[in-house]
Amino acid sequence: MTTALITGSTSGIGAAFARRLAADGHNLVLVARDTKRLRDQATELHDRHGIEAEVLTADLATDDGIETVAARLGDRKNAVDLLINNAGFGNKGRYLEVPMADELMMLKVHCEAVLRLTSAATEAMRERGRGGVVNVASVAAFVPRGTYGASKAWVVQFTQGVAKDLAGSGVRLMALCPGFVRTEFHQRAGMGTDNIPNWMWLDADKVVAEAVNDLARGRSLSIPDPRYKALMGAAKLVPRPLLGAISSRTGRKYGPR
């Protein structure tokens, strides 16, 4: 039986990945900061699907937290076959309105943690000749959205670059770029969502279902839902200054996830 490790597993897209992978018969390593929520989640998934669910409490905004998860990914005796780098958050406010400490924390979680955990996982996977990594980004990666969008653009470029470097090794990598998903993301960031049309909202379980299918197809980039595929295609045709103006009114305050 294969094992998947999911960061930010207790809510939103991470929880949807946990439900889907457990239903598919994968054992899980569940990673988040809240030990009680992790234990409750592990118990529920074990009881419902009969899989083993390991709890790993870690804060990926800290070196110790990243190192804890990296060490688990590098454990050759208890191999992780699939890594879902999902942990992330948003900051409310425009550039210079957000404290520098919060901006740096975002880069730590979205970029440094993704780099270090992907490296730990793929090194072990390449030795075995198989494995997969899904790095959760956002459609914000394709439009000007301050630090959030910039960090997610880094995730996309990094993931696709590594996918090319490891082609033929048996290790697959994919960047997942959803739009607005009904999760705790915006509430935790203190962001309002009243100005977002209903048609733009996605269901987390459907996002994950499409991501799983795209990974199986060997794609290095997944943009779930035809609506967002069309929007991102149209965004390529919009002049950058106009796109930046639109984003400055909505994007930084309401980052998709």
Could you list the active site residues?
A: 148
Does an H or E element contain 212, and which?
helix 204-216
Return d(Cα 238, Cα 244) in angstroms, integer: 10
Task: Kindly compute the dihedral angle of the four CA atoms of residues 230, 231, 236, 239, in this order, to the nearest 10 degrees.
Answer: 140
Query: If we measure between CA atoms, which residue out of 146, 144, 148, 172 comes closest to residue 159?
Result: 172
- Please list, residue by residue across 176-213, b when 16 or more beta carbons sit within 10 angstroms of its beta carbon and e when fewer do: bbbbbbebebbeebebeeeebeeebebebeebbebbbe
